[in-house]
Amino acid sequence: MTLSELSVRRPVLMTMVYLLIVVIALVFLPRMEIALYPDIDMPVISVFVDCGDAGPEEIEQQVAMELEENFSSLENIKDITTISSDGNCMAILEYEYGTDLDDSETDLNSAITLVSALLPDWTETPQYFRLDTSGSESVAQLSLTGENLSLDDLKMIGENTVAPLIERIEGVGQVSVRGGSDVEYHIDADPNRLAAYSVSLSELVAAISSDNLQTTGGRITENGVNYQVSAR
């Protein structure tokens, strides 16, 4: 006998069943817990490195890339995002959902010990912390648009104008700018010219690498404005 046939033959019984379901719903629905920020254990760990007076470019080249290379071999790593800003670097490690972060912290501690020996002398020992999704922290995203402006132009405006203003707002923990492209230089060596000067390709690479250095020179203050000094 189908439900429709039972409803026609025994309407009183079906009415009582429906009323019972409604009563149960009215009793238990208000008792269901509702949370604006539910307690969810997100598999995300952030690693923070204090870089003193170093600038974003040298931090990106000498710290962020080193972190990405060493952390990429960790088990169950899904994605790594690095953020380099004035004086600090943050690596956000996203693990596969369902990963036990307690076990992952052991491997992460070992990786931090290894990478600490490879970082420049002006960096502090990396520290890590878990993402707390049960708190009241919020994330806001803003987008920049402009006519006749390229993505690189908008990125420069975001880094040099917008981000510093937002960082001054009370309660803002960190501001990161994404988008645009990084500048790359490609060198096409002439084999004949190298042979004429008795220079091998490996020697050319070594010479470029030795001159491609960037170190921090500290900060200077002039007329109330702080400037980051870097030596290249």
* Nearest alpha carbon to residue 165 among 138, 135, 183, 144: 144
State the pLDDT at residue 56.
Answer: 83
Distance CA 2, CA 208 (A): 82
Condensed to tens digits (0 to 9), the pLDDT of residues 4-49 reads: 777 777 778 888 888 888 888 888 777 777 766 555 667 888 899 9
Count the Cβ atoms, other than its own, within 10 Å of residue 164. Answer: 12
Beta-carbon contacts of 214 under 8 Å, excluding residues fewer than 6 positions away, are 55, 57, 58, 61, 62, 230, 231, 232
Computed over every residue of the chain, the mean pLDDT equals 80
Count the Cβ atoms, other than its own, within 10 Å of residue 100. Answer: 11
Q: Which of the two residues, 71 and 86, has the higher pLDDT score? A: 71
Q: Which of the two residues, 160 and 215, has the higher pLDDT score? A: 160
Distance CA 184, CA 194 (A): 23
Number of helical (H) and strand (E) elements in the chain, helices listed first: 9, 6
**Domains present along the chain, CATH in parentheses:** 1-32 (no CATH), 44-130 (3.30.70.1430), 141-179 (no CATH), 191-231 (no CATH)
Condensed to tens digits (0 to 9), the pLDDT of residues 85-130 reads: 878 888 999 998 888 888 888 889 899 999 999 998 888 889 888 7
pLDDT at 67 over 90: yes
Condensed to tens digits (0 to 9), the pLDDT of residues 153-211 reads: 888 888 888 888 888 888 777 787 776 666 677 888 898 998 999 989 888 888 887 77
* pTM higher than 0.75: no
Distance CA 231, CA 95 (A): 37
